[in-house]
Chains A and B, each alone.
Chain A
């Protein structure tokens, strides 16, 4: 038994001593190429991935057995014509260069179908849609002939009505929603039209009298002129909005909805930025055209100079 053990041990040891460096060299891309002068050549790889997967791959017009996502390995350095083909999709052709020891990666190739398949998600008439970034919802703008806007959940393929609550100062009629912003620590959405600002709380879904799911859109401000943008401020307690080159701050938590506070004017046709992390707003001054910043939410009490 001792002899057998030693024999097997040394056989395995010799095998390991030979195989290990060869496998490591192979891992780095080295192959034995008899046609090459040096016989040992460092190769490269091509990695392809497509949507949809499972497409056939052709290398210099020769079909490969790999399907996407595919790793084509042991390629001598040089240029290669790659064709990706799959039924009912247009062919995808590309020329790729392969370098020794490197992997040329072409991932996330979208194959274009020969015929796009369209699906009707809703049968009502809508004038437009606004996706609410960060949620699974779109706001479907109501058509003139429709009585309510809707929220559409693209993941569950369900919709619910948007029940608008209008404040007395608001003029009745269709409010065209221009933009939306999700509050980052909750599921409340700030919504604005040209003259109005409102809030949707996505967590509060109720059934209306017909048993249809509804979500309430509270219009909290309706006296704007040309509201272009609104952002949440201070953990969803306030909103900063741009109305006709003026920046206003409004308290959205007060049940009486105080009048918005005018803060400053910005250069016409320009934009502003607010950082919730620092509580600071940035804008272009209309007079000096300088980039300005102003602390909207103070992080510390300012010390005044004592005279």
Chain B
């Protein structure tokens, strides 16, 4: 369906619906918070019952998510040592590869057996579907790196990591998409990178995105789209079919795993619907993890956990941050939105609408590493974290556009529309409200209980039940702590063991961290949308400790 994935230039009815759906998430979130506050004062018994029901729901959801977090982490661990480039080379002959995978399993370790089993299952499925796989040699990669304020020292490690990857770098085209308004220092760094690395890739192009073009907001998507169009012209002129090109739009600080492009290539080749798919790696924030305060580490590890969990549910997965997709799909979908901040998720929804629901995300069990937002002082880091989380939460801007699209689209089944819309809506409401309900509002009926309520069994039982639930939830917290330590990169510092123990204790700050640096930014974003305000794109300050 040709649907204009934008909030601008809408006809009267569309404008009304747009505004209605913009108001809805914030309205519901505030209603939940204020409604529960009021109930705690006015009808404490009803509030206590709702809180018990919510706490139990939250606990079960936590356990549910923890189960899939463990499964996903296990999968990541299984694929940690997979030689993806070897598989890319062998996938051209599916039958012999399947046979080889079966025979190798006998002499492999348990983890390798599982990895080989997953690979075999994927290939058998491809074979059943009768899909034609593109030759591995024909797959090219396009990497677009939008740059606004990041200097050479931030961008270069990412370029180096692409160069060092196991996938042949001569089949990788890089476009450094720098904003016209960037400083001279930034531009100088970009050109220096081009000059240093151009020979290591198919090509390394610098595209300067003009500022203030009509119809564009000052957003990363506009810059990336400009670069993609330049890349499209390049690829066309060099006879490279879009069908065999995978585009990756990375944050400027993204450092890819050595096997990233090989894994991506393999995932692309073995995906029957490869030109109708995005490919989502697991984002981790290792670049400067030991240089930032503990609360920032906990927060970003939580983001990684979220993506790990989402990877187990590809039917409802949405792209996030640095990810890849079919370049053909990107071109057909009309490139990234040029007037939306949340380009990473918006491109998924835009593609989903464009292809009438025949679009999916393929999880990749490999990582891309980025910077944690940082600053010189603790307070500045807190402010920067708050702004970044608010920008992430601004992904709620997709909701009204998506709902309008769903109302118009007759090809996507009602079931799919309902479940995706519900997941998006519920996810944002939960993001903004749950921390309030768990840490503050849940205790109010007992604190502000009138005399009548104080002499009920419920008054005494409700806090005990909540306490028991939270104690049981500690099990999930323990697993999170263990997995977060397992995920940490090797650290070449003194007393790494003590550092890790300190990191484990920082998880005890989760209730406070998630209230102030997750829920409140989300509520802030939804409130702005509700009130019709917009957010200027704020580029996160990234920084590495200078050694």
A interface residue numbers (CB < 8 A to B) = 1-2, 4-5, 8-9, 12, 15-16, 19-20, 23-24, 26-29, 43-45, 47, 71, 73, 101-105
Tell me which residues across on chain B come within 8 A of A44, comparing CB atoms. 457
B509 beta carbon closer than 8 Å to chain A: no
State A104–B455 Cα separation when bound (angstroms). 7
Interface segment among B51-59, B130-138, B140-148, B515-523: the answer is: B51-59
Contact B465 A23 (CB under 8 A): yes
Interface segment among B60-68, B107-115, B213-221, B368-376: the answer is: B60-68
In chain B, positions 249-286 with a C-beta closer than 8 Å to chain A are: none
Contact A28 B458 (CB under 8 A): yes
Contact B456 A101 (CB under 8 A): yes
Kindly provide the distance from the CB of A74 to the nearest chain B CB, expressed in whole angstroms.
9
Contact B456 A102 (CB under 8 A): yes
Tell me which residues across on chain B come within 8 A of A16, comparing CB atoms. 56-57, 60
State A47–B52 Cα separation when bound (angstroms). 21
Chain A's closest residue to B316 (CB) is A5
Contact A73 B457 (CB under 8 A): yes
State A2–B316 Cα separation when bound (angstroms). 11
A-B contact pairs, 28 of them (CB 8 A): A1-B71, A1-B313, A2-B315, A5-B313, A9-B64, A12-B61, A16-B57, A20-B56, A23-B52, A23-B56, A26-B465, A27-B52, A27-B457, A27-B462, A27-B465, A29-B461, A44-B457, A45-B460, A45-B461, A47-B460, A73-B461, A101-B457, A101-B458, A102-B457, A103-B455, A103-B456, A103-B457, A103-B459
Contact A5 B48 (CB under 8 A): no
Tell me which residues across on chain B come within 8 A of A20, comparing CB atoms. 52-53, 56-57
Tell me which residues across on chain A come within 8 A of B457, comparing CB atoms. 27-29, 43-45, 73, 101-103
State A105–B456 Cα separation when bound (angstroms). 10
State A301–B71 Cα separation when bound (angstroms). 82
Tell me which residues across on chain A come within 8 A of B458, comparing CB atoms. 27-29, 101
Please count the residue pairs between chain A and chain B whose beta carbons lie under 8 angstroms apart in the complex: 74
Contact B460 A24 (CB under 8 A): no
Kindly provide the distance from the CB of A105 to the nearest chain B CB, expressed in whole angstroms.
6
In chain B, positions 371-421 with a C-beta closer than 8 Å to chain A are: none
B454 beta carbon closer than 8 Å to chain A: yes
Tell me which residues across on chain B come within 8 A of A28, comparing CB atoms. 457-458, 461
State A90–B391 Cα separation when bound (angstroms). 65
Tell me which residues across on chain B come within 8 A of A105, comparing CB atoms. 454-455
Kindly provide the distance from the CB of A11 to the nearest chain B CB, expressed in whole angstroms.
9
B312 beta carbon closer than 8 Å to chain A: yes
Contact A19 B455 (CB under 8 A): no
Contact A12 B461 (CB under 8 A): no
Kindly provide the distance from the CB of A95 to the nearest chain B CB, expressed in whole angstroms.
18
- Contact A15 B455, CB 8 Å, known A5-B313, A27-B52, A29-B461: no
Tell me which residues across on chain B come within 8 A of A43, comparing CB atoms. 457
B447 beta carbon closer than 8 Å to chain A: no
Q: A26-B465, A29-B457, A44-B457 are in contact. List 16 more A-B contacts (CB 8 A).
A: A1-B71, A1-B312, A4-B71, A9-B64, A19-B56, A27-B48, A27-B457, A28-B458, A29-B458, A47-B460, A73-B457, A73-B460, A73-B461, A102-B455, A102-B456, A103-B456
In chain B, positions 196-234 with a C-beta closer than 8 Å to chain A are: none
Tell me which residues across on chain A come within 8 A of B61, comparing CB atoms. 12
State A27–B457 Cα separation when bound (angstroms). 7
Tell me which residues across on chain A come within 8 A of B460, comparing CB atoms. 45, 47, 71, 73, 103
Contact A27 B49 (CB under 8 A): yes
Kindly provide the distance from the CB of B484 to the nearest chain A CB, expressed in whole angstroms.
23
Which of A9, A16, A19 has the most chain B CB atoms closer than 10 A to its own CB?
A16
Tell me which residues across on chain A come within 8 A of B68, comparing CB atoms. 5, 8
State A44–B458 Cα separation when bound (angstroms). 10
Chain B's closest residue to A29 (CB) is B457
Kindly provide the distance from the CB of B449 to the nearest chain A CB, expressed in whole angstroms.
11
State A5–B68 Cα separation when bound (angstroms). 8
* Other-chain residue from A8, A24, A73 in contact with B52 (beta carbon distance below 8 A): A24
Tell me which residues across on chain B come within 8 A of A47, comparing CB atoms. 460
State A29–B457 Cα separation when bound (angstroms). 6
Tell me which residues across on chain A come within 8 A of B315, comparing CB atoms. 2
Contact A5 B465 (CB under 8 A): no
Tell me which residues across on chain B come within 8 A of A9, comparing CB atoms. 64
Chain A's closest residue to B72 (CB) is A1
Tell me which residues across on chain B come within 8 A of A12, comparing CB atoms. 60-61, 63-64
State A27–B312 Cα separation when bound (angstroms). 36
Chain B's closest residue to A71 (CB) is B460
Kindly provide the distance from the CB of A40 to the nearest chain B CB, expressed in whole angstroms.
14
Chain A's closest residue to B466 (CB) is A27
Tell me which residues across on chain B come within 8 A of A101, comparing CB atoms. 456-458
State A47–B460 Cα separation when bound (angstroms). 9
Tell me which residues across on chain A come within 8 A of B71, comparing CB atoms. 1, 4
Tell me which residues across on chain A come within 8 A of B313, comparing CB atoms. 1, 5
State A9–B52 Cα separation when bound (angstroms). 20
Contact B312 A24 (CB under 8 A): no
Which of A26, A28, A73, A105 has the most chain B CB atoms closer than 10 A to its own CB?
A28
Kindly provide the distance from the CB of B88 to the nearest chain A CB, expressed in whole angstroms.
23
Tell me which residues across on chain A come within 8 A of B462, comparing CB atoms. 27
Tell me which residues across on chain A come within 8 A of B53, comparing CB atoms. 20, 24
Kindly provide the distance from the CB of A44 to the nearest chain B CB, expressed in whole angstroms.
6
Kindly provide the distance from the CB of A2 to the nearest chain B CB, expressed in whole angstroms.
6
